[in-house]
Amino acid sequence: MKRQLEAALGSDPAIKRALAIVLMREVLPLLDELGEHAAASHLQMAIDTALGPAAFGKIDGSC
């Protein structure tokens, strides 16, 4: 499957990152439904990290 994805996505890191984020977001509700709250929390942190600081937006009082 990895080979097929690489062939379809090419070598653009932005596209690969976007796909990874989409896949992680798809799995998150399933983990919650299964009661895997620790795993869901870690996955949410991974999503936030992959999205970078822009995902959090500007907080009042910040630079």
Domains in the chain: boundaries: 2-52
Q: Which of 55, 57, 26, 56 is nearest to 43 (CA)?
A: 26
pLDDT at position 25 is 97
Q: DSSP character for 61?
A: T
| Over residues 18-28, mean pLDDT | 95
Q: Is the pLDDT of residue 62 over 60?
A: no
Selected residue with higher pLDDT from 6 and 53? 53
Amino acid at 32: D
Q: DSSP character for 59?
A: P
Q: What is the DSSP code string of 38-54?
A: HHHHHHHHHHHHHH-GG
pLDDT at position 3 is 77
pLDDT at position 10 is 77
pLDDT at position 38 is 97
pLDDT at position 61 is 63
The model's confidence at residue 53, banded by pLDDT at 50, 70 and 90, is confident
